[in-house]
């Protein structure tokens, strides 16, 4: 079985090796001559897209591993003049899901197949098995499925690969995966800040604690690498490497896209939004310098005994909140776009190969695969027991963060979300009254049907 690959960066090269190991005949190219200089036994590198198409037998399957945005459109335009009906092109980059839907429509009109594939796992996943989230016409998915199965990680003997519906569905699920990833990464950073500040622990000790947590219910890839980072020495200074890493956190846009999607689909995702905001604040150099000069450092902290238990509970509950918010967003988008996104499939795909892989996903997969799956994750009885079991320590941890001046926006907003979704009535009744008072927007009553207005002063 043949496959074409365009894009020989680190991810592309590792995927090529994975394809070769799976017994596929790989024909590859790259726009950059320096990238085309790479060689590996069993991978045929050619000089151009035209040469690649010529080397593949019809019907062709070609995977793009290039930078998202305009480069994808340019490459697709070039390929359109070279392909034959029945050929399928797959975009494996971090493309915006609405761009993927547009490209799918254009390719269908031209008689070609197109798929958008969200791939998670980084360079390790590309080499040893990635998590793959596919969107596009179902017939194209069925054509490409045998090839993709060879590249996917496995959990419980099932490939971490699923089709989520037409158009941009696959890239949407990957975008939400990244949004949850942002939230979990920030929650881990907040746990580190609490344990180092009020907790008074050195980075190595915090890393060791992360390792211990990683052996239990909180275990996952991000916990694992966080513990590794905190215990790593800087070869130049000899001290903890975390102390010489600048705190300006970068982002490539998927987190912001996810936050925007939450607004578009009317789904509250505060954990993800606050994680994006935390990275924005970290990069706001002028604001931070001025505030530090004006107000000084936060107050000196203190922590009670068993402080790590409070942090562990907060971290676990916050992770559940982020998962629930992200999965609710996938469900809302799937319904509005008439996709077939199955939340059990999403959780399963993330179980292995992905950056987000963690033990919690085993339970989430089981919950949504059941015959009586809840509407949302927090509606599941096992999740309810976990949240209620950790609630007291979650509150104590967030309170200690506030009293000690430790910024913990993801933990804090997740607790506020947990409180809000179970509060009746919410204080937003006053907000609706305000809207009617100044804008005559009207409001619903709890005791009558229809739209109503308040008896405000004349002329209001």
Please give the full DSSP string across 17-81, using - where no structure is assigned.
Answer: HHHHHTT-EEEEE-SSHHHHT--BTTEEE-SSHHHHHHHSPSSPEEEE-S-SSHHHHHHHHHHHT
| Whole-number Cα distances in Å, 304 to 297, 387, 390, 452 | 22, 22, 17, 52
Residue 145 CB burial class (10 angstroms; 0-12, 13-18, ≥19)? middle
- Spot the catalytic one: 139, 181, 252, 290: 181
> Please, which residues bridge with residue 4 across strands?
27, 62
Catalytic (active site) residue 47: no
Catalytic (active site) residue 181: yes
> Please, which residues bridge with residue 115 across strands?
90
- Residue whose entry in the numeric block shows the structure tokens 């109503």: 452
Tokens of 238: 């000899």
To 5 degrees, how large is the angle CA 302–CA 305–CA 308? 90
66 touches 35 (CB < 8 A):
no
251 touches 278 (CB < 8 A):
no
Measure the CA–CA gap between 180 and 120, rounded to whole angstroms. 13
- Spot the catalytic one: 67, 80, 139, 174: 174
CA dihedral 15, 19, 20, 25 (to 10 degrees): -120
Residue numbers annotated as active site: 174, 181
């Amino acid at each position: 079985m043949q496959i074409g690959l365009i894009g020989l960066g680190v991810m592309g090269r590792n995927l090529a090796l994975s394809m070769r190991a799976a017994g596929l005949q790989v024909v590859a190219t790259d726009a950059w001559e320096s990238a085309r200089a790479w060689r590996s036994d069993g991978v045929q590198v050619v000089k151009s897209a035209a040469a690649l198409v010529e080397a593949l037998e019809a019907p062709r399957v070609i995977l793009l591993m290039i930078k998202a945005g305009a480069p994808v459109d340019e490459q697709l335009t070039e390929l359109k003049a070279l392909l034959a009906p029945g050929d399928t092109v797959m975009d494996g980059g971090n493309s915006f899901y609405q761009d993927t839907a547009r490209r799918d429509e254009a390719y269908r009109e031209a008689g070609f197949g197109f798929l958008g594939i969200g791939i998670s796992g980084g360079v390790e996943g590309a080499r040893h098995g990635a998590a793959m989230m596919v969107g596009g016409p179902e017939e194209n998915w069925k054509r490409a499925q045998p090839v993709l199965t060879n590249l996917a990680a496995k959990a419980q003997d099932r490939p971490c690969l699923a089709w989520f519906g037409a158009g941009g569905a696959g890239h949407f699920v990957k975008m939400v995966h990244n949004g949850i990833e942002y939230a979990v990464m920030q929650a881990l950073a907040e746990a580190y800040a609490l344990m180092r500040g009020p907790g008074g622990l050195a980075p190595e000790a915090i890393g060791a604690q992360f390792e211990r947590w990683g052996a239990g219910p909180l275990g996952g890839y991000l916990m694992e690498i966080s513990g590794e980072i905190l215990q790593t020495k800087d070869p130049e200074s000899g001290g903890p490497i975390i102390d010489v890493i600048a705190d300006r956190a970068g982002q490539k846009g998927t987190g912001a896209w996810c936050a925007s999607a939450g607004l578009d689909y009317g789904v509250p995702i505060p954990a993800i939004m606050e994680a994006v905001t935390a990275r924005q604040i970290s990069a706001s150099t002028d604001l931070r310098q001025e505030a530090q000069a004006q107000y000084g450092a936060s107050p000196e902290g203190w922590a009670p005994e068993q402080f790590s238990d409070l942090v562990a509970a907060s971290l676990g509950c916050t992770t559940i909140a982020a998962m629930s918010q992200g999965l609710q967003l996938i469900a809302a988008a799937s319904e509005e776009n008439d996709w077939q996104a199955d939340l059990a499939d999403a959780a399963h795909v993330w179980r292995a190969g992905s950056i987000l892989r963690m033990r919690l996903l085993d339970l989430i997969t089981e919950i949504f695969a059941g015959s009586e799956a809840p509407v949302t994750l927090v509606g599941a009885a096992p999740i309810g027991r976990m949240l209620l079991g950790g609630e007291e320590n979650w509150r104590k941890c967030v309170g200690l963060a506030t009293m000690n001046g430790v910024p913990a926006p993801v933990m804090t907003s997740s607790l506020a979300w947990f409180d809000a979704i179970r509060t009746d009535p919410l204080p937003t009744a006053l907000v609706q009254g305000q809207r009617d008072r100044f804008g005559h927007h009207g409001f619903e009553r709890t005791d009558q049907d229809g739209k109503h207005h308040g008896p405000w002063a004349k002329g209001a």
